[in-house]
Amino acid sequence: MRGPHNRKMPTQTKFPWHQIATAGVGAVLDTMSTEESMRLADEYGTHNYKPLPVNVVRGEGARVWDSEGVEYIDCIGAYSAVAHGHLAPAVVRALQEQLTRVTLVSRAFFSPELALFLQALAEYTGLDMSCPMNSGAEANETCIKLARKWAYTVKGVPKDKAEIIVTTDNFHGRTTTIVGFSSETKYKEMFGPFGPGFVEVPYGDLAALEAAITPNTCAFLAEPLQAEGGIIIPPDGYMAGVRQLCDKHNMLLIWDEVQTGFGRTGRKFGWQWEDAEPDLMAVGKPLGGGVLPVSAAVGKRHVMEILEPGDHGSTFGGNPLAAAVGIAALAEMEVHDYAGRSERLGRRLADGFRALNSPLVKEVRDRGLLVGIEVHEHVDSAAVTKALLAERIVTKETRKRTFRFTPPIVTDEATIDEIVARVGRALASVAGS
């Protein structure tokens, strides 16, 4: 009897090796149907995602097109990664120029691209040094390693006893270390055993945080505003209070700004809504300008300098191509005031959603262009997703029955108003059904 892991594979056409070698990848992609794209992904890829039934073949600015030429407004923006819009000209130009020079040399050499990237990161973030990586999860893992080595070499925590305090409903990536301290069962079930050293407290609760601190506590790790957790805004004074507790108890403050950073919340970084400067910060997503995975752990010199050769590394982290793209992405965000633009457009979007007065909506939560619509418990969220797609709005539900709206920051006012109108029609159709 065949089980799920040894089922007979259906007969497929052979991979077009020779066509690709002679005509290029694009020639094959141009002939692939939506049905074929979905079938191949389902057959040959793991099912760790549940994509929307939209086969995207082209993007520009805040819009994407499927293989049938249908246009959608991208309200996911690759979970904040496409802040610059699809195919941002300045970023694409930097990518193309660097492709004529050198792309990958590893950290066995110096490169002028990396040098300039590191300077740009320091000036933009206001922090001293950085360790370039690729994904947001890698950036967070780097911060965890830095905090632990700091605990043993500086704070004097006994070996292998360092503790990092995290929060409920956290999301910092999907490595085994990180999912091990997730409060979301589906992220961790069947992936254990997990390592010790993490203590969970309720998000937004300063008293619970202080009660959890011990002499072995070396750091507190959290998003300043929870994105994946359902666009959760902390109580006023929470972030500043966290900073004060870290100073009081000689522990590091680590903010995960992978989804909230680089202007998304209406400030350069989410922690800037209060006086809550971190010792370490994980950044990523928009740092790649929507074209490459680029991330970094950024921090204060006295923490970053504890890393020595051999302690940590990444073959692709800080490669010249990624560095050039990161430089261009940072320059666009700085020169064109992405933070101010996000604050203005986000207010317009959230106010528009509230003005709809939909009976389906429990609450609209927002900081800058990080906006969530939470629907009531009785609402069929799958029907809402379907209605949004019918209105050619691309977004998905995250935790707490909240639909996340993080369109590119380059989106204009007219598109913001169009999003509101389309969402209004989608909600009305579900409410009337």
Do 312 and 110 touch, CB atoms closer than 8 A?
A: no
Distance CA 158, CA 146 (A): 16
Geometric angle at alpha carbon 335, from 334 and 337, rounded to 5°:
65
Which strands, in side-by-side order, build the sheet including 63-66?
Answer: 56-60, 63-66, 71-74, 393-394
Tokens of 428: 């009305």
Q: What Å distances lie between residue 166 and 95, 99, 184, 223, CA to CA? A: 37, 41, 13, 10
Cβ atoms within 10 Å of 6's Cβ, excluding its own:
8
Q: Look up residue 201 and give its amino acid.
A: V
Q: Look up residue 145 and give its amino acid.
A: K
What lies within 8 Å, CB to CB, of 177 at 6+ separation is 141, 144, 194, 195
Residue 391 phi, psi (nearest 5):
-90, 10
Distance CA 334, CA 307 (A): 29
Q: What Å distances lie between residue 139 and 8, 293, 370, CA to CA? A: 40, 11, 21
Distance CA 138, CA 172 (A): 9
Q: What Å distances lie between residue 248 and 244, 251, 272, CA to CA? A: 6, 8, 20
Distance CA 430, CA 426 (A): 6
What lies within 8 Å, CB to CB, of 186 at 6+ separation is none
Residues involved in catalysis: 171, 256, 285
